[in-house]
Structure 1
């Protein structure tokens, strides 16, 4: 999603919430947001969610409703994460059949919290699901760029050339075409994964790639939570004259810090007992570790 934005807007980029509603509300209050007509807002500010709103935590339904209200009111924007992608992949074919939709949603045990919260309002959950499908996979503004996992210029260009920026039916069909350019681009941007293929790919119709998560940011200033899969180093071209990139996904630990002069990660293991972290970004201002908020 490419758009011009106001230089007068301050962005509060918020890490992976993973169903932790209390942590989200506490962070919004710390950032100075107040609730008006069921919407958290702050004059001159826009919250930016880096995806993975659902799974792992206890109140994903409340998180989804909170974020949707903010996005619909214009006080927030968001990108989807790999957990939203997985839900969409599992349940997109079943929105016309409530029972089948609930069964498909529960393919991941953490999503049973969603089905339980909406067991008497299944249409409400399907509406939230369809709303998520209309949220972007990347934000490419003149003053900030946002992805859930990896800003890869080639992958973003592939998606733009295909006219894909959200998980509509065209995008989902491309994603389901395993090893297509669309699948590989979405897997890189939303899940931070690379694929290593066997050398005799063309001669083996049953080939499978070796899929692994990559560590693509320039500087090693923080560590990855030992609970998570450890990413392999990878080179990703990230022009230094471009707007800053903000991402989540990697469950970092330690004192929040920038990961390059125009790169910052926001996932500091809120799903595993860590703090939910935000970065307060004013367009044109250099990134600085002092701008993290917990």
Structure 2
């Protein structure tokens, strides 16, 4: 959680970019980052991306290459989102065959732009894909904690117990073990989903659940975009009041950015749907406050 040159004292937590490269560059400039030797950076600052770099927007290729350069240089870190998870699930078995990999990538219509952007150098796209597989599904540090969708203490503990930190071979195998504890934990943390299992099917090995997204944060100070309105309020064991602040994305909120609890803040304010890309500027030890959002 530190910059390659100097320790980070301030963290700029950036919401779901969803391929909106122009919005990303505008926000980085607003935050005071400058491009040096091909990398956006700012002394004593670390950009923290909450996932969903790809899909929906027009230039996911530029977003991916920009964020990777920042992470590799130590000026950024990230967690993967559900859109990265879906891509990895679709294409991970095909990285040894370029054409099969491109076909698997294009299973989601938004990812055609990725194959188009790298049609003359598909191995670069595969390299970005493999790099994404090594990025964490959660960050749990003394200064801050970050997930894409839901900080669920039980789910995080399940992942920690089994050493699942990313979507490498072990992590993806766990996710593909449908309805296992690890699958449910990853689905909760990365996609913000809960599963309801009808009692009449509980002993049927082929059962299916009712899957739905949950509104888990403690205080309802922001509205979810009607486009993403299929969210059910659910009480879970979330972040403790005296713990490090939790930052998340995923939920496409609207209105003026605000904190969602004493130590909880969402940073996805519908950049994918015409809204602004926002960040929260967090200084270690400082209480969360709405004035620290940057748009």
With structure 2 as the length reference, what TM-score do the two structures score?
0.97
Output aligned runs, 1:1-294, within 5 Å. 9-237=9-237, 238-294=239-295
Change (3 A) 1:24 1:112: same
DSSP-derived class of the 1:200 partner? helix
1:207 to partner: Cα distance? 1.2
1:247 to partner: Cα distance? 0.1
Q: Runs of 5+ in structure 2 lacking a partner?
A: none
DSSP-derived class of the 2:226 partner? coil
RMSD: 1.3
1:7 to partner: Cα distance? 7.8
Change (3 A) 1:221 1:202: closer
Distance across 2 between alignment mates of 1:25 and 1:118: 21
DSSP-derived class of the 2:102 partner? helix
**CA contact under 8 A between 2:2 and 2:8: conserved in structure 1?**
no
Distance across 2 between alignment mates of 1:90 and 1:7: 37
DSSP-derived class of the 2:228 partner? coil
Deviations 1:9-51 (A, max 9, x none): 2000000000000000000000000000110000010000000
Please say which of residues 49-58 and 168-177 is displaced more in the overlay.
Answer: 168-177
Deviations 1:111-132 (A, max 9, x none): 0000000000000000000000
Give the number of equivalent residue pairs: 292
Deviations 1:159-195 (A, max 9, x none): 0001100001011111111000110000000000000
Q: Runs of 5+ in structure 1 lacking a partner?
A: none
**CA contact under 8 A between 1:213 and 1:229: conserved in structure 2?**
no
**CA contact under 8 A between 2:12 and 2:280: conserved in structure 1?**
yes
Distance across 2 between alignment mates of 1:260 and 1:236: 14
DSSP-derived class of the 2:80 partner? coil
**Runs of 4+ that moved beyond 4 A:** 3-8
Distance across 2 between alignment mates of 1:119 and 1:254: 39
**CA contact under 8 A between 2:267 and 2:278: conserved in structure 1?**
yes
Distance across 2 between alignment mates of 1:172 and 1:235: 28
1:203 to partner: Cα distance? 2.9
Distance across 2 between alignment mates of 1:195 and 1:120: 42
1:228 to partner: Cα distance? 1.1
Distance across 2 between alignment mates of 1:75 and 1:7: 10
